[in-house]
Structure 1
Amino acid sequence: MTVDARTIAVYDAKAQDYADHFDSAGKPGAHLRRFMAALPTGGRVLDLGCGPANASRFMIEAGFDVMALDASAEMVRVAAELNGVDATLGTFDDLKEVAAFDGIWANFSLLHAPQVDLPRHLSAIARALRPGGVFHIGMKVGTGTARDGMDRRYTYVTAQGLADLLAVAGLNVTDTDTGHEVGLAGTDDPWVVMMAVNHA
């Protein structure tokens, strides 16, 4: 079981603050635009760890068939109230589909999974993607596991370490981006974003 109760408690308490902090001012960001451009018209997409479902809303508006999933009940509520997205309450362990999605969007969600569980979650993602399906992942850069000032648990990766994990899962990296951003906790943290294709 990958859910950390303390992390979920933070998101339940701060769901609206999170939605406000990452409000994308009415348009999808560059990473989401790149992801959508790689999908087939009207493709089926999973927003894995959707949070307030800002990305889901943009993808739905763009004509994609979107399933949104999050482990925070309050995030699921805010997704419906703020973005009109009917998200499902669930965890990474609930991903059981096989060859069901043209794309999976995991934007800074899998960083809350224990390090030991990342390989099996990525394998489940590869299984859930159709051949040629596209995967987007955002993670914070670093090593080990630690809690931030808000008590959220993070698993950190290096760019090479993440690329290696994706390769083992059967996902070929096609794009890599790095940068840094001030998050909800107020710290300016480095990140890595990768897009990969299922070569099954």
Structure 2
Amino acid sequence: MSFNENISQDKPNLATEEYWNDTYNVELDNFKNFGDPGAEWFGHGIGVKMIKCIQSNCKISLEDPILDVGCGNALLLAQLAKLGFSNLYGIDYSAPAVKLANSIVKDQKIENITLKEFDFLTDDVKTLPTFSLVLDKGTYDVISMEDENKEKRTRYKENIIDLLQPNGMFLIVSCNWTQLELNEQFGDAFQVVHTIPTPSFQFGGAVGNTLSATLYQKL
């Protein structure tokens, strides 16, 4: 299933900062009132698989810097922190998302996560440090919406490259791009290190995956 075939009718909303601000304001209220940190994007299971992939396939130390692009509520970073990773960063262009993430991190008494309100396409990535590993769970999907001339995707890839240290790793999970499409878009600057198995489906004689999850290494 291609990207264009998989876009829902909610595409215009998902592509706006207003949508995410409204979403995270609701989740922030839920956290304040009920202690509910909200859901993990694509579910808890894929986060577990990402962490196992990092532990098995990334030659990084617990002190190496890791960035989550579009961190949302930062639950993935919190899980990494609990495993001993001590140099964690999360950025999101939604101010309520960052506020929620900070509230969760403070509540869980985690001190080794730095969170920042940051627009990955318009803010200057040179103001950020460089990283051994960059994570993306759904952010590239949102950036790809309403991007017919590919300008946003090009800027995104350039920024990922600039933020990664030599031989740095890039782990991306997408629901809108197939494995082949991701390889076509990132293959000129990255090599595939590992593909995370994800649930598959069959329709009309064709077999596909509900998610594409790939670990790349910067060339």
TM-score by length of 2: 0.68
Structure 1: where are the runs of 5+ without partners? 141-155, 182-188
Relative to 1, partners in 2 of residues 1:198 and 1:133: Cα closer, same or farther, differing over 3 Å? same
Residue 43 of structure 1 is matched in structure 2 by: 64
Please report how far the alpha carbon of residue 10 of structure 1 lies from its aligned counterpart in structure 2 after TM superposition: 4.1
Matched, 1:55 2:73: no
Matched, 1:74 2:78: no
1:1-200 to 2 correspondence within 5 Å? 4-16=16-28, 19-22=37-40, 24=44, 29-37=48-56, 38-41=58-61, 42-61=63-82, 62-84=84-106, 85-93=113-121, 94=123, 96-97=125-126, 100-114=130-144, 115=147, 116=150, 117-140=152-175, 156-168=176-188, 170-180=189-199, 190-199=210-219
Amino acid at match of 1:165: Q
TM-score by length of 1: 0.74
Structure 1 or 2: more strand by fraction:
1
Relative to 1, partners in 2 of residues 1:20 and 1:99: Cα closer, same or farther, differing over 3 Å? closer
Structure 1 or 2: more helix by fraction:
2
Helix, strand or coil at the partner of 1:21: coil
Please report how far the alpha carbon of residue 167 of structure 1 lies from its aligned counterpart in structure 2 after TM superposition: 0.9
Whether the 8 Å contact between 2:49 and 2:196 is mirrored in structure 1 is no
Return the alpha-carbon distance in structure 1 between the equivalents of residues 167 and 90 of structure 2.
21
Alpha-carbon RMSD: 2.8
Please report how far the alpha carbon of residue 122 of structure 1 lies from its aligned counterpart in structure 2 after TM superposition: 1.4
Please report how far the alpha carbon of residue 44 of structure 1 lies from its aligned counterpart in structure 2 after TM superposition: 0.7
Aligned pairs, how many?
172
Amino acid at match of 1:9: N
Structure 2: where are the runs of 5+ without partners? 1-14, 31-35, 107-112, 201-208
Return the alpha-carbon distance in structure 2 between the equivalents of residues 44 and 196 of structure 1.
16
Helix, strand or coil at the partner of 1:87: strand
Task: Render the CA deviation track for 1:5-25: whole Å, top value 9, x for unaligned.
Answer: 343234334435794332849
Task: Render the CA deviation track for 1:7-60: whole Å, top value 9, x for unaligned.
Answer: 3234334435794332849xx612123124414211011111101101112223
